[in-house]
Amino acid sequence: MRVAIIGAGYVGLVTGVGLSKHGNEVTLVDIDEQRVKMINQAKPPFYEEGLEPLLQNSVGGNLRATSDIKEATIGADVIFLCVQTSCQSDGTIDLVHVEQATTDIGKAFKDREGHPLIVVKSTVVPGTTEKVVCPLLEVNSSNRPGRDFGITVNPEFLREGKAIEDFLHPDRIVIGELNKESGDVLSELYRDFDAPILRVDLKTAEMIKYASNVFLAAKISLINEIGNICKRLGIDVYRVAEGIGFDPRISPYFLNAGLGFGGSCLPKDIKAIVVVAKGLGYQASLLESVIRINEEQPLKLIELAEKRVGDLTARKTTVLGLSFKPGTDDVREAPSLKVITELLERGALVTVYDPIAMEKVRGIFKDKIDYATSAEEAVSEAELVFIVTEWDEFKNPNLYQGKKVFDGRRILSSDEAERLDYEGICW
């Protein structure tokens, strides 16, 4: 099929290379000219495992990028909406990019022939496709949803760091459809994917995405809360997690107690659904606690250090790991940002190191902190070391000889930790 993808970020670009691998003709559209240029040169604009070789295989063949939405959508059978949805300061979903891109799509296919399918892949709160996307498309294209164009919601569940693998081998494909014809087109596009397809209505599909993220976030905050209790009792929460993970109703995944979740999705999605609930007269108390526990967790690492050494003013500290998780250079809502901010507020001297996310953090903290070129260099002068992201290269106990280590991710075993001046956040 001919596919246009609006928004060539993590989701859009990965969807693009994935669908081109399946033989579709893909055109990516982005307002960021630099990004368009890089994609056309087969250079990934961000780090994602396996992305570069796939891009090199498809650019010059059946994948290209442009900033001209009209040209990209005019002959497309399927148009994916993959732009970002951030949140406002009170947690409300920010639809500014979705509204702009939807307006552009509507205008672009105003005069076209045929019956395109619009696919909302951006994460939007339940009701958005029906109440915002459809009317905007209708007004700007003078076409009727269902009659002149199809519409579906197709939430994305990929994990950054494993995005290509997850897109190509999803555990399920959710299709929210305005009508059967719309869902049939998307089902056909995913024909070769080996995954169960669940077909539901538009707002159910939107809610499935939120419920998935909320569930994962709640599981993390829950094990962190248990970890905080374990810490006070002198119990290793990782042994507790092992013990409960055998139960198939619980499962062993997402039980890594520590600094909590970050990234571009979980924090904003939980906040957005809490706001939606509030607007409906329902207070989502459990979800509010999930957010609160997560926001407090990074501060606990600093408290541990203060308890151990007292005032942090002018102390030489190092933060190891900046991306919100290993395998990505994404630092959006990363716990590292909170840890660094808190250390600076307390007057500590901060050096940081991450294998791939340095430039993004340099853009945020500029010359307020020092940037090392290796873990060894970062640690060499430091008195206090904070382990914030569990990159493999930090799992070396020799790095930490003679240092006071505060581990937010449990990267060292109990045996290794025993020989060091070491403390874990929840163990």
**Residues labelled as active-site residues:** 265
Angle, helix 202-233 to helix 237-245, in steps of 10 degrees = 130
* Residue 110 beta carbon to ligand NAD: minimum distance, rounded to whole angstroms: 17
**CA triple 406-410-412, angle to 5 deg:** 90
> Does 357 help bind ligand NAD (rule: CB under 6 A)?
no
Token look-up 């951006």 returns 122
Choice from 100, 289, 341, 380 touching ligand NAD (CB under 6 A): 100
Choice from 72, 79, 101, 350 touching ligand NAD (CB under 6 A): 101
Residue range at the interface with ligand NAD (CB under 6 A); choices 152-160, 228-236, 344-352, 406-414: 152-160
How many H-runs (helices) and E-runs (strands) does the chain carry? 17, 14
> Does 97 help bind ligand NAD (rule: CB under 6 A)?
yes
Burial 400-426 (b: 16+ CB within 10 A, else e): beebbbbbbbbbbeeeebeebebbbbb
> Does 16 help bind ligand NAD (rule: CB under 6 A)?
no
* Residue 256 beta carbon to ligand NAD: minimum distance, rounded to whole angstroms: 18
* Residue 108 beta carbon to ligand NAD: minimum distance, rounded to whole angstroms: 10
Structure tokens that stand for 169 in this block: 């081998």
> Does 65 help bind ligand NAD (rule: CB under 6 A)?
no
Token look-up 């890594």 returns 256
Distance CA 129, CA 63 (A): 27
Residue range at the interface with ligand NAD (CB under 6 A); choices 83-91, 245-253, 299-307, 417-425: 83-91
In the complex with ligand NAD, which residue's Cβ is closer, 250 or 364?
A: 364
Task: Determine the 3-state secondary structure of 118 from DSSP.
Answer: strand
* Cα–Cα nearest to 232, from 280, 131, 303: 303
> Does 329 help bind ligand NAD (rule: CB under 6 A)?
no
* Cα–Cα nearest to 145, from 193, 181, 91: 181
Residue range at the interface with ligand NAD (CB under 6 A); choices 76-84, 200-208, 233-241, 384-392: 76-84
Distance CA 56, CA 239 (A): 44
Choice from 21, 35, 325, 360 touching ligand NAD (CB under 6 A): 35
Which residues are registered as beta bridge partners of 50?
A: none
> Does 104 help bind ligand NAD (rule: CB under 6 A)?
yes
Distances in Å between the Cα of 416 and the Cα atoms of 196, 235, 257, 309, 420 are 43, 17, 19, 22, 7
Q: Please provide the size of the chain in residues.
A: 427
Choice from 55, 95, 117, 158 touching ligand NAD (CB under 6 A): 158
In the complex with ligand NAD, which residue's Cβ is closer, 213 or 297?
A: 213
Choice from 4, 11, 72, 136 touching ligand NAD (CB under 6 A): 11
> Does 350 help bind ligand NAD (rule: CB under 6 A)?
no
Residue range at the interface with ligand NAD (CB under 6 A); choices 29-37, 186-194, 196-204, 340-348: 29-37
Residues 160-189 that bind ligand NAD (CB under 6 A): 160
> Does 265 help bind ligand NAD (rule: CB under 6 A)?
yes
> Does 82 help bind ligand NAD (rule: CB under 6 A)?
yes
> Does 85 help bind ligand NAD (rule: CB under 6 A)?
yes
> Does 32 help bind ligand NAD (rule: CB under 6 A)?
yes
> Does 7 help bind ligand NAD (rule: CB under 6 A)?
yes
Neighbours of 346 (CB within 10 A): 16
Cα 100 off chain centre by: 22
Q: Count of residues binding ligand NAD (CB under 6 A)?
A: 27
In the complex with ligand NAD, which residue's Cβ is closer, 172 or 239?
A: 172
- Burial, 40: exposed, middle or buried (Cβ in 10 Å; 0-12, 13-18, 19+)? middle
Binding mask 109-138 for ligand NAD (x = CB under 6 A): -------------xx---------------
Which residues are registered as beta bridge partners of 79?
A: 4, 118
Residue range at the interface with ligand NAD (CB under 6 A); choices 10-18, 365-373, 376-384, 393-401: 10-18
> What one-letter code names the amino acid at 356?
I
Cβ-closest position to ligand NAD: 9
> What one-letter code names the amino acid at 228?
N
Distance CA 346, CA 306 (A): 10
The stretches of 234-334 forming alpha helices (DSSP H) are 237-245, 266-279, 285-309
Which residues are registered as beta bridge partners of 153?
A: 120, 176
Binding site for ligand NAD (CB under 6 A): 6-12, 29-32, 35, 82-85, 97, 100-101, 104, 122-123, 156, 158, 160, 264-265
